[in-house]
Structure 1
Amino acid sequence: MAIMILPPDVVGKIAAGEVVERPASTAKELIENSLDAGATDIRVEIREGGRRLLRVIDNGCGIPHAEVELAVARHATSKLRTADDLQHITTLGFRGEALNSIAAVSQMTILTRSASEETGAQVRLEGGQIVARESHGAPPGTIITVENLFFNMPARLAFLRQPQTEGGHIAEMIARYAQAFPERRFSLLADGRLVFQSTGSGALTDVLVKVHGLDVAREMIPVGVFGENRPPVGVFGENRPPASLTPTVWGYIGLPSQHRANRNHITFFLNRRWIQDRTLTYAVLEAYHTFLPVGRYPLATLLIELEPSLVDVNVHPTKAEVRFRDPRAVYRAVQKAVHQALIEQAPLPSVTLPAPTPGWGQPDGWEERRQALLNAGQAPQQPELGLPRSALAPAPLPTPDEQGVAPWPAEPPTASDLPMLRVIGQAGATYIIAEGPDGLYLIDQHAAHERILYEKMTAEMQRHAVPSQALLEPITFTPLGHHAGLLAEYAAVLNDLGFILEPFGGHTYLVRSVPAIMHRADPHQATQEVLEGLAQEEDLVNDAREARLVRIICKRAAIKGGQTLSLIEMRELIRQLEACQSPRTCPHGRPTMIALSAVQLEKFFARR
């Protein structure tokens, strides 16, 4: 095939593919232009998740009448003049590609008026080509309307998610900018309904209340100081601290009690620009070291001020990745600021030791009575235990369907799968010590219980009989960000798994029931963690998502490490693990046990 220069329309679509990924990235580029134009009030309107219509209205400086057509040309910008300016970027946008890329894959209308002019201009484009231009009355500022996004790129259009999910991504993106610019007022209307609105007061705490809710915002503590005569944390506008040669870190972090299931709630802004940086995320996690349970992550909104010449933001078309000239200095600044805030302000955790529960020891004659009942074909009744009885309830074998085929083999595993074990005790309130015919076994009680619950719930799903536990009083649950779209999209799947949720106006739901195995968990936190698990792997097909949901639920409901068990509870746990199909790993693939053979023990003690 001969080498040729690509036509302009093909070049435009290729460039648009790098900048415009989905409606949320379109809104991001337009909002950044509004912020750079000095807008103090930014209003976003969407229909069908931004696919049908996305409109951004601002009260910024506007575009002069004579420059409107030039503004949509590729590489046209008012923010750079020479290559040296790339070393001192102080604006959010600078590439001059956003408007041209968006116009290339949509039907765009620009209505704008500069404050120095009496009339504005309106330009309409379709597929990147100007189809109409006229003078038009308008207030100072700019209104950009994007309709039928990707109308000329059916392949890209087919990969967009449901409107609720796409709208949720837009809401999450606007919430980020509201945190970076609390002195600006942001509004989001979805299908004519007000979804989000910040106050524009300049106080970061006001935005955190809007984003995370009042209860969570109350549990967040300030990070960083500006000096003796500087304004308190969260004040912006004219009193905003200037960028310096050394990193300045400030913002708010959650108390250790406000932990989350993943890292998605750690947010960074560099000179007001939202960035993603794994190294900085690790710095926050290191600052919380020993403060959080294993596998849990903190809540944080951190703003970093740094001299623009010390950072390269011209790394990726989305401008979400940056490179620091001295990354170690930024890492240390983040870790030190967060750790210092925790040490100085986080309250010491209170530990309450549970009172001994009657019946925690093995009753006299219990084993003999258990064997007698088993020989008679009856299940022994357990005494009252420290754990809820349902936590270690035996998993019933599935019943055959109408064709006589069981969902999974009803035969118990053979001795080669897992030998019969005799419980000896517990180590570190986490590992069960058991003896087998060939040596010693250490069983991770959390991983083992996860496997038991997973196989039990999988069998119940195949029979379409997952039990749910009704709440005494329904609770209200409002998902944040694109979790709202996930909840609407997978409401039926969640219902099959025992979560009974009803719409309660807007994005709010009433949680009436939770899966029976989670009846002791906090319903609000349990629902939030399930949605966070879904969001981590959005590209999974429905069957894979159902399996992941089951794993998330079982992980949440399983016995935790550090939980003391009685001898009877440990025996029951081992008995149920022996009945599992895959007893040697948890649903996530971690081993449930390790074995030390008699030969290994003899070698350790030099007996052979």
Structure 2
Amino acid sequence: MPIHILPDALVARIAAGEVVERPASVVKELVENAIDAGATDIRIECAEGGKRLIRVTDNGSGIPAAEAALAFAHHATSKLASADDLAEIHTLGFRGEALASIASVSQVTCITRHADEAGGTLLRFDGGRLIAQERIGRTPGTTMTVEHLFARVPARLKFLKSTQTERGHIDGIVTRYALAYPHIRFTLVHDGRVSFQSLGTGNLRDVLVEVYGADATAQMAEVGDAGQMSDWRLEIEAISNLQSPISVYGYASLPTLDHANRSKITLFVNGRPVQDAKLSYAVVQAYHTLLMTGRYPVAVILVRVPPAEVDVNVHPAKAEVRFRDADAVFSAVQRAVRRALLDNMTPPAPPSLLRQWPNDRQESGATALAATDERPSIVEPTAQPPLTGSEAWERVGIARQTGALGGRVPVTDAATSSAPITQPSPLRTQNLPALRILGQLAESYILAEGPEGLYLIDQHAAHERVLWERLLAQHELGALPSQHLLDPVPVTLPAESAYLLEGQRDMLRDLGFEIEPFGGNTFLVRAVPALMIQDDTATALREIVADLEMGDAALRKDLEARVLRRVCKRMAIKAGRVLSFAEMQALVRDLEACESPRTCPHGRPTMIYVGLKQIEKEFGRLG
């Protein structure tokens, strides 16, 4: 094929692929234009996840009539004048490609009026061509309507995700800008229904309440002075004159509120949402020793630096930035978040139950008490009668799965079930030998003796396995017990998570949850699986939604498995809990009855085996 020059229309559509990836990309570009125009009220309307309609209306400065058509030309912008301006960018947009790219892959209607003009201008574009232009009346500001996105680019259209997924991406874009610009009122409407609205008070906490809910916001600490926040550009000149011109604001969750992954760490640099692994790591490092391994904080961190100290012209989507002194920014973020956490964390209460003070004081104890020679008051533990087998099961939260001879036996949910459930539970002695309980180590591991050595059993992982096989068997029989709550629990979720939960309500109902919309992004939880009746319902639901967010194309059975694994993980006995001998024996016997007793549902081992020969070798009994 001979070399030839591509037509301008085809070039425009190819170039548009770098700017317009999906409907959320269009929303991002139009919202950024509205913010750059000084808008204080921005309304976003979408239909069918933005595939059929996206309309963004603002009360900004508008476009002069003489320049309205020029705004849709390639490389046309009012935000840069020379190459030197690239070194110090004060706006979100600057390349002059967004409107031209959007118009080349859709039908666009622009209605705008500049603040200094008496009337407005209407323009219509189809596939990048201007097909109509006329004068029209309207208030100052701009309305951009984008219809039938990618209708002329079927290759891109067929790769869009479901309407629900595209809605979620749009929700994420809008809520992020609402967090970065709390002085702007954002309204997001999907298919005629308001799904998100910020107040525009300038108070970041007000936006957090709308995004994450009042309960979650109450568990977040203020970083820096994030009270009344204005446009970042008004603060840049002030911080540029400081010796260390790096400012960090925002909110970070206390250790009582965490997430399964880093997706709830939201970062902004000079009002621009960014993806920066190093800054994200700085936030996580601020929680060193404060969060469990594998858990991550919820944080909204806004970094302000002089524009000359950051390069935003790195990525086509402007999602990445490069700092002149990245280490200084990293340290500033880490210190600010850590300081906020330490200033807001409540010191732990002293234990109410102390162990018996020894009669013969140790040297260290004598040294510590030498000044006063006083002993603390001792609270004597109340004597507890030994538990019978069934009582032990109820206390540890496990129901017996097997009878003395194995086979199908009635199983009663120890939590709340009112009727026995019959399920197959064959005794699998070939998987585990009969074990003799020796005791508990570090309030986390059960020591047991087997025929050929020592077994160290992780009580949490073992209990997860027991609960998993029990719930799985009940689910296969269609008999997962559900328990109605005395008082329904309201749970507010971020907009993108709310749409995901709404789409999975039928699946969750089959697993024992009864959840109904309660307006906006709030849901009422009326029933939960019986096993979870004593759990923190709001926290459990947020963790389940986080599990559902992990992957877009999972099969229903995979989603069900994720939810059940989460239920098991939350309800399994935790490390640090003292178990009686009867409880340990009950747990180990039930683990022996499992089909796969050696791993938890997540694949982690439930036990470590130390062979007798290895023990004898360590003691020098074997050569």
Q: Calculate the aligned-residue CA RMSD, in Å.
A: 2.8
Counterpart of 1:320 in structure 2 is 319
Counterpart of 2:364 in structure 1 is none
Counterpart of 1:204 in structure 2 is 204
Counterpart of 2:593 in structure 1 is 579
In 1, distance between residues paired with 2:569 and 2:423? 22
Q: 1:4 Cα shift?
A: 4.2
Question: Which amino acid is the alignment partner of residue 262 of structure 2?
Answer: R
Q: How many residues align?
A: 577
Question: Is 1:544 equivalent to 2:558 in the alignment?
Answer: yes
The secondary structure found in structure 1 opposite 2:512 is coil
Compared CA separation, residues 15 and 577, structure 1 to 2 (3 A): farther
Q: 1:146-165 deviations in whole A, cap 9, x for unaligned? A: 11222233444344444344
Q: 2:391 aligns with which of 382, 388, 392?
A: 382
Counterpart of 1:394 in structure 2 is 400
The secondary structure found in structure 2 opposite 1:521 is coil
Counterpart of 1:377 in structure 2 is none
Question: Is 1:240 equivalent to 2:240 in the alignment?
Answer: no
Relative to structure 2, which stretch is displaced further, 204-213 or 267-276? Answer: 204-213
Compared CA separation, residues 430 and 186, structure 1 to 2 (3 A): same
The secondary structure found in structure 2 opposite 1:29 is helix
Are the counterparts in 1 of residues 122 and 133 from structure 2 also a CA contact under 8 Å?
yes
In 2, distance between residues paired with 1:257 and 1:91? 37
Compared CA separation, residues 10 and 459, structure 1 to 2 (3 A): farther
Counterpart of 2:267 in structure 1 is 268
Q: 2:490 aligns with which of 465, 469, 476?
A: 476
Compared CA separation, residues 507 and 197, structure 1 to 2 (3 A): closer
Identity of counterpart residues, as a percentage? 51
Q: 1:321 Cα shift?
A: 1.8
Compared CA separation, residues 348 and 32, structure 1 to 2 (3 A): same
Question: Which amino acid is the alignment partner of residue 235 of structure 1?
Answer: M
In 1, distance between residues paired with 2:21 and 2:532? 38
The secondary structure found in structure 1 opposite 2:390 is coil
Q: 1:196 Cα shift?
A: 2.4
In 1, distance between residues paired with 2:66 and 2:113? 11
Q: 1:299 Cα shift?
A: 2.3
Question: Which amino acid is the alignment partner of residue 296 of structure 1?
Answer: R
The secondary structure found in structure 1 opposite 2:69 is helix
In 2, distance between residues paired with 1:561 and 1:124? 65
The secondary structure found in structure 1 opposite 2:552 is coil
Question: Is 1:489 equivalent to 2:489 in the alignment?
Answer: no
Counterpart of 1:519 in structure 2 is 533
Question: Which amino acid is the alignment partner of residue 558 of structure 2?
Answer: A
Q: 1:128 Cα shift?
A: 2.3
The secondary structure found in structure 2 opposite 1:56 is strand
Compared CA separation, residues 164 and 80, structure 1 to 2 (3 A): same
Are the counterparts in 2 of residues 360 and 385 from structure 1 also a CA contact under 8 Å?
no
The secondary structure found in structure 2 opposite 1:91 is coil
Are the counterparts in 2 of residues 468 and 515 from structure 1 also a CA contact under 8 Å?
yes
Compared CA separation, residues 40 and 361, structure 1 to 2 (3 A): same
In 2, distance between residues paired with 1:494 and 1:480? 19
Are the counterparts in 2 of residues 165 and 489 from structure 1 also a CA contact under 8 Å?
no
Instruction: Give TM-score, length-normalised by structure 2.
Output: 0.86
Are the counterparts in 1 of residues 124 and 133 from structure 2 also a CA contact under 8 Å?
yes
In 1, distance between residues paired with 2:352 and 2:169? 44
Are the counterparts in 2 of residues 162 and 485 from structure 1 also a CA contact under 8 Å?
no
In 2, distance between residues paired with 1:360 and 1:426? 18
Are the counterparts in 2 of residues 500 and 512 from structure 1 also a CA contact under 8 Å?
yes
Compared CA separation, residues 156 and 121, structure 1 to 2 (3 A): same
Are the counterparts in 2 of residues 385 and 569 from structure 1 also a CA contact under 8 Å?
no
Are the counterparts in 2 of residues 13 and 105 from structure 1 also a CA contact under 8 Å?
yes
Are the counterparts in 1 of residues 150 and 156 from structure 2 also a CA contact under 8 Å?
yes
In 2, distance between residues paired with 1:382 and 1:512? 29
Q: 1:360 Cα shift?
A: 6.2
The secondary structure found in structure 2 opposite 1:268 is strand
Q: 1:357-394 deviations in whole A, cap 9, x for unaligned? A: 9886756xx6xxxxxxxxxxxxx53358643xxx2113
Are the counterparts in 2 of residues 165 and 484 from structure 1 also a CA contact under 8 Å?
no
Are the counterparts in 1 of residues 495 and 521 from structure 2 also a CA contact under 8 Å?
no
Compared CA separation, residues 206 and 458, structure 1 to 2 (3 A): same
Q: 1:264 Cα shift?
A: 2.3
Q: 1:5 Cα shift?
A: 3.9
Are the counterparts in 2 of residues 243 and 271 from structure 1 also a CA contact under 8 Å?
no
Are the counterparts in 2 of residues 109 and 122 from structure 1 also a CA contact under 8 Å?
yes
Q: 1:533 Cα shift?
A: 1.0
**Structure 2 stretches of 5 or more lacking a match?**
354-378, 410-421
In 2, distance between residues paired with 1:475 and 1:19? 42
Counterpart of 1:553 in structure 2 is 567
Counterpart of 1:170 in structure 2 is 170
Runs of 4+ in 1 over 6 A off after TM superposition: 354-361, 396-400
Counterpart of 1:14 in structure 2 is 14
Counterpart of 1:532 in structure 2 is 546
Are the counterparts in 1 of residues 38 and 60 from structure 2 also a CA contact under 8 Å?
yes
Question: Is 1:604 equivalent to 2:618 in the alignment?
Answer: yes
Q: 1:243 Cα shift?
A: 4.4
The secondary structure found in structure 1 opposite 2:169 is helix
**Structure 1 stretches of 5 or more lacking a match?**
226-231, 367-379, 401-406
Relative to structure 2, which stretch is displaced further, 266-275 or 239-248? Answer: 239-248
In 1, distance between residues paired with 2:192 and 2:574? 45
Question: Is 1:140 equivalent to 2:149 in the alignment?
Answer: no
In 2, distance between residues paired with 1:236 and 1:398? 69
Instruction: Give TM-score, length-normalised by structure 1.
Output: 0.88
Are the counterparts in 2 of residues 233 and 250 from structure 1 also a CA contact under 8 Å?
no
Question: Is 1:508 equivalent to 2:522 in the alignment?
Answer: yes
Q: 1:208 Cα shift?
A: 2.1
Question: Which amino acid is the alignment partner of residue 450 of structure 2?
Answer: G
In 2, distance between residues paired with 1:133 and 1:318? 30
The secondary structure found in structure 2 opposite 1:251 is strand
In 1, distance between residues paired with 2:57 and 2:380? 64
Question: Which amino acid is the alignment partner of residue 230 of structure 2?
Answer: F
Compared CA separation, residues 596 and 338, structure 1 to 2 (3 A): same
Q: 1:218 Cα shift?
A: 3.3
The secondary structure found in structure 1 opposite 2:115 is coil
In 2, distance between residues paired with 1:165 and 1:551? 24
Relative to structure 2, which stretch is displaced further, 332-341 or 194-203? Answer: 194-203
Counterpart of 2:251 in structure 1 is 252
Are the counterparts in 1 of residues 513 and 526 from structure 2 also a CA contact under 8 Å?
yes
Counterpart of 2:428 in structure 1 is 413
Are the counterparts in 1 of residues 196 and 495 from structure 2 also a CA contact under 8 Å?
no
Q: 1:523 Cα shift?
A: 1.2
